[in-house]
């Protein structure tokens, strides 16, 4: 069997592999950040049960909110990296909340290509 491996095809394949490695690494960073947010949510729940002051709870809620916004931005950046610019993912997620971004990301990266477990 003859193959037509030209230097251009080899270079394009190498570029695609590097891009995949980069996006998978970035997806893992997002998954780790989501796991950290889940742990913070658990801490807030426990703190609420032990009756922390409102000021202390407010600080934790603000931390949650900032982490959610950070994850939203990272998910948008991830989809831009994968599709090299705007895509239906970024268009469909405009104006959506954290959970919409979370589930879009989770559904995408837990598939056969990335195989990353999201909390």
Averaged pLDDT of the chain: 92
**pLDDT, tens only, 79-113:** 999 999 888 888 999 999 999 999 999 999 999 99
Which residues contact residue 30 at a Cβ distance below 8 angstroms, ignoring those fewer than 6 apart?
71, 74, 75, 78, 105, 109
Whether 13 is in a domain gets the answer no
pLDDT above 70: residue 1: no
Whether 116 is in a domain gets the answer no
In this structure, are residues 16 and 113 in contact, taking their beta carbons and an 8 Å threshold?
no
Whether 75 is in a domain gets the answer yes
Domain range for 48 is 30-109
Q: What is the pTM of this model?
A: 0.88
Q: How many domains, in total, are found in the chain?
A: 1
Nearest-CA neighbor of 104 among 84, 22, 82, 44?
82
**pLDDT, tens only, 66-80:** 999 999 999 999 999
Whether 4 is in a domain gets the answer no
């Amino acid at each position: 069997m003859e193959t037509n491996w030209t230097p251009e095809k080899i270079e394009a394949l190498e570029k695609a592999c590097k891009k995949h490695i980069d996006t998978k690494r970035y997806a893992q960073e997002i998954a780790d950040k989501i796991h950290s947010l889940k742990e913070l949510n658990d801490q807030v729940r426990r703190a609420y049960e032990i009756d922390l002051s409102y000021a202390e709870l407010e600080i934790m809620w603000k931390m949650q909110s900032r982490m959610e916004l950070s994850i939203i931005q990272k998910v948008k950046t991830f989809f831009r990296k994968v599709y090299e610019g705007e895509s239906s993912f970024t268009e469909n997620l405009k104006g959506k909340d954290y959970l919409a971004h979370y589930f879009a990301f989770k559904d995408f990266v837990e598939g056969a290509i990335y195989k990353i477990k999201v909390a």
